[in-house]
């Protein structure tokens, strides 16, 4: 096994995934950066390659059946190991009350936010056993609380919580740590994507009326979880902006 630890991060082109890729690269991990927007992946590769760490950009649409598993095999074939896997890709499209929401987006919302994460976890399991590694799945406070107007998204994130809590019990005895990390409002492109903007952008934080989390706040928590010694398993973390209701 090569010496340098490897982190695979989905959703690396934006927000929490991108901040996590940069944070873990700064901590010495080689990075497999996964998302659809190739130009942004290439920009991230260039940014990380200023350090000694390697960055492998992997263009992948996680809404496609089987894509998460194939992508994981590709990363493993390149690096030969996996130490940290962070599932951050997600979207909230299909927003709105039942009956008014654009339900055409729901299959993709369920695929990206839930099914692909399950596939990724399954494909990463054996290499994570070999490295006594860590799986960090980005949930949401909408996976804990009711979320009017976000029913499909909430269904996926509640499902993810059930998945994580179940596999954690299975996999702990194999030495794999499994953490569900639930952010509250975080200033990323999430809301812009949800609206269907063709050029997604980060909000002016003034729209919320309180200071939201930054993606770097969540990335710091991921790094803390991944940095725990092998006998410490952080089961679940929920992070909310202080003044967020």
Ligand X SMILES: NC(=O)c1ccc[n+]([C@@H]2O[C@H](COP(=O)([O-])OP(=O)(O)OC[C@H]3O[C@@H](n4cnc5c(N)ncnc54)[C@H](OP(=O)(O)O)[C@@H]3O)[C@@H](O)[C@H]2O)c1
Question: Please, what is the minimum distance in Å from the beta carbon of residue 216 to ligand X?
Answer: 11
* H, E, C per residue of the chain: CCCCCEEEEECCCCHHHHHHHHHHHHCCCEEEEEECCHHHHHHHHHHHHCCCCCEEEEECCCCCCCHHHHHHHHHHHHHCCCCEEEECCCCCCCCCCCCCCCHHHHHHHHHHHHHHHHHHHHHHHHHHHHHCCEEEEECCHHHCCCCCCCHHHHHHHHHHHHHHHHHHHHHHHHCCEEEEEEECCECCCHHHHHHCCCCCCCCCHHHHCCCCECHHHHHHHHHHHHCCCCCCCCCEEEECCCCCC
Active site residue 29: no
Measured from the CB atom, is 149 or 174 closer to ligand X? 149
Question: Please, what is the minimum distance in Å from the beta carbon of residue 102 to ligand X?
Answer: 16
Measured from the CB atom, is 90 or 133 closer to ligand X? 90
Question: Please, what is the minimum distance in Å from the beta carbon of residue 186 to ligand X?
Answer: 4
**List 29, 95, 150, 153, catalytic entry:** 153
Question: Please, what is the minimum distance in Å from the beta carbon of residue 4 to ligand X?
Answer: 24
By CB under 6 A, name the binding residues for ligand X.
Answer: 11-17, 35-37, 40, 60-63, 88-91, 112, 138, 140, 183, 185-186, 188-190, 193, 215
Measured from the CB atom, is 80 or 196 closer to ligand X? 196
Measured from the CB atom, is 61 or 130 closer to ligand X? 61
Residue nearest to ligand X (CB): 15
Nearest Cα residue to 24 out of 195, 216, 194: 216
CB 55 within 8 A of CB 31: yes
Measured from the CB atom, is 6 or 136 closer to ligand X? 136
Question: Please, what is the minimum distance in Å from the beta carbon of residue 226 to ligand X?
Answer: 17
Residues with catalytic annotation? 153
């Amino acid at each position: 096994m090569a010496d340098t630890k490897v982190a695979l991060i989905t959703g690396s082109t934006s927000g929490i995934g991108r901040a996590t890729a940069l944070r873990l690269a700064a901590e010495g991990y080689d990075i497999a950066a996964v998302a659809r927007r190739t130009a942004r992946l290439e920009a991230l590769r260039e940014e990380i390659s200023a350090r000694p760490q390697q960055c492998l950009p992997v263009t992948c649409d996680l809404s496609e059946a089987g894509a998460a598993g194939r992508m994981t095999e590709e990363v493993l074939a390149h690096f030969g190991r996996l130490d940290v896997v962070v599932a951050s890709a997600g979207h909230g499209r299909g927003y709105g009350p039942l009956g008014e929401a654009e339900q055409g987006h729901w299959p993709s919302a369920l695929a990206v936010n839930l099914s692909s994460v399950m596939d990724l976890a399954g494909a990463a399991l054996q290499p994570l056993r070999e490295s006594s590694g860590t799986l960090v799945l980005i949930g949401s406070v909408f996976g804990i609380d009711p979320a009017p107007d976000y029913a499909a998204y909430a269904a996926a994130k509640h499902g993810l919580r059930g998945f994580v809590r179940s596999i954690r019990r299975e996999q702990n005895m194999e030495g794999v740590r499994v953490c569900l990390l639930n952010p509250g409002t975080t200033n990323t492109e999430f809301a812009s994507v949800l609206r269907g903007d063709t050029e997604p952008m980060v909000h002016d934080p003034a729209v919320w009326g309180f200071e939201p989390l930054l993606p770097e706040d969540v990335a710091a928590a991921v790094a803390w979880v991944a940095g725990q010694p092998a006998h410490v398993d952080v089961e679940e973390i929920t992070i909310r902006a202080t003044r967020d209701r």
